[in-house]
Amino acid sequence: MINIIKFLQMRHAVIIGPDDLLDLFLENTKDYYINYSSLVRKKFWEKYSSINWIGHDYLNVENIQNCEYFLALKSNKKRHEITHNILKKGGTISKLIDKSSRIFKSANIGKGVIVYPLVTISSFAEIDSYSVISYGTLIGHGVEIGESCFLAPNVKLLGDCKIGKFSMISTGSTILPGISIGDNCLIAPGITIMKNVPSNSKVVSINGSLRILSL
């Protein structure tokens, strides 16, 4: 877990991501950042002026500097693009794990992974680089998650399932044990996946029936 106060004192640090990512950094500094109003935010940045906030809606990839970054962009393709721009320019991408999440010692979490609060990552799970694991997600025993995936809040990945790279699992969905999701897949919200999904597919619910469509 990153030392938040040390991070706040770093020079030229850049946070990229949605506003709620700030909660991961500000748990020890709530006196300066009580809510998301522009006035409070202005006071916070005056206090910690060495931090530059770059929102993903107006992010200019060409202006990336050689420094440390935390990536929590929802778009897998955009995050992948930015990741490689940062690495090419000599920057580093740091892992960030919220202290309220429970991670078993035998789990393996790759570089640049963001783990939001209240996540459980069970034993022998493998999460590849630059993936984002959102609030309340459960990752079961032996689950494998590929590079640059995005798991929305309250997703359940049950034992030994596999998620290919660049895939997105939407809010409240469940992947049953032993199921494989291919690369570059999109799973719609609130559904349960009971059979394998090929790469470059999206799974949606139509009139209560699951359909696998090509992207």
Instruction: Write out pLDDT tens, residues 4-24.
Output: 455 555 545 666 665 555 555
**Domain ranges across the chain:** 4-93, 96-204
Give strand pairing partners of 114.
96, 132
Please give the pLDDT value at position 129.
Answer: 92
Q: How confident is the model at residue 57 (pLDDT cuts 50, 70, 90)?
A: very low
Of 30 and 79, the one with more pLDDT? 79
Question: Which helix H or strand E contains 92, and what residues bound it?
Answer: strand 92-93
pTM exceeds cut of 0.85: no
Alpha-carbon gap, residue 193 to 163, rounded angstroms = 12
3-state secondary structure 167-198: CEECCCCEECCCCEECCCCEECCCCEECCCEC
Alpha-carbon gap, residue 65 to 67, rounded angstroms = 6
Question: Residue 62, SS3?
Answer: helix
> Would you state the structure tokens that stand for residue 57, as one six-digit string?
């809606």
Alpha-carbon gap, residue 24 to 199, rounded angstroms = 33
Q: Give domain 96-204's CATH superfamily.
A: Hexapeptide repeat proteins (2.160.10.10)
Q: Of the spans 51-60, 80-89, 116-125, which averages the highest pLDDT?
A: 116-125
pLDDT (tens digit per residue) in 97-147: 887 889 999 999 998 898 888 899 999 999 999 999 988 999 999 999 999
How far is Cα of residue 68 from the mean position of the Cα atoms in its chain? Answer: 17
- pLDDT (mean) for 190-197: 95
Please give the pLDDT value at position 10.
Answer: 52
Q: Do domains 4-93 and 96-204 have the same CATH topology?
A: no
Is residue 213 within 8 A of residue 202, CB to CB? The reply is yes
Residue 28 reports pLDDT greater than 60:
no
Range scoring the smallest mean pLDDT among 50-54, 149-153, 175-179: 50-54
**Cβ atoms < 10 Å from Cβ of 9:** 12
**Cβ atoms < 10 Å from Cβ of 71:** 26
Please give the pLDDT value at position 84.
Answer: 82
Please give the pLDDT value at position 85.
Answer: 80
Of 119 and 60, the one with more pLDDT? 119
Task: Spell out the CATH class of 4-93.
Answer: alpha beta
Is residue 173 within 8 A of residue 197, CB to CB? The reply is no
Alpha-carbon gap, residue 148 to 126, rounded angstroms = 13
Let me know the angle formed at the C-alpha of 189 by 117 and 210, rounded to the nearest 5 degrees. 145
Nearest to 149 by CA among 117, 181, 122, 121: 181
Please give the pLDDT value at position 83.
Answer: 83
Please give the pLDDT value at position 147.
Answer: 93
Residue 192 reports pLDDT greater than 50:
yes
Residue 163 reports pLDDT greater than 60:
yes
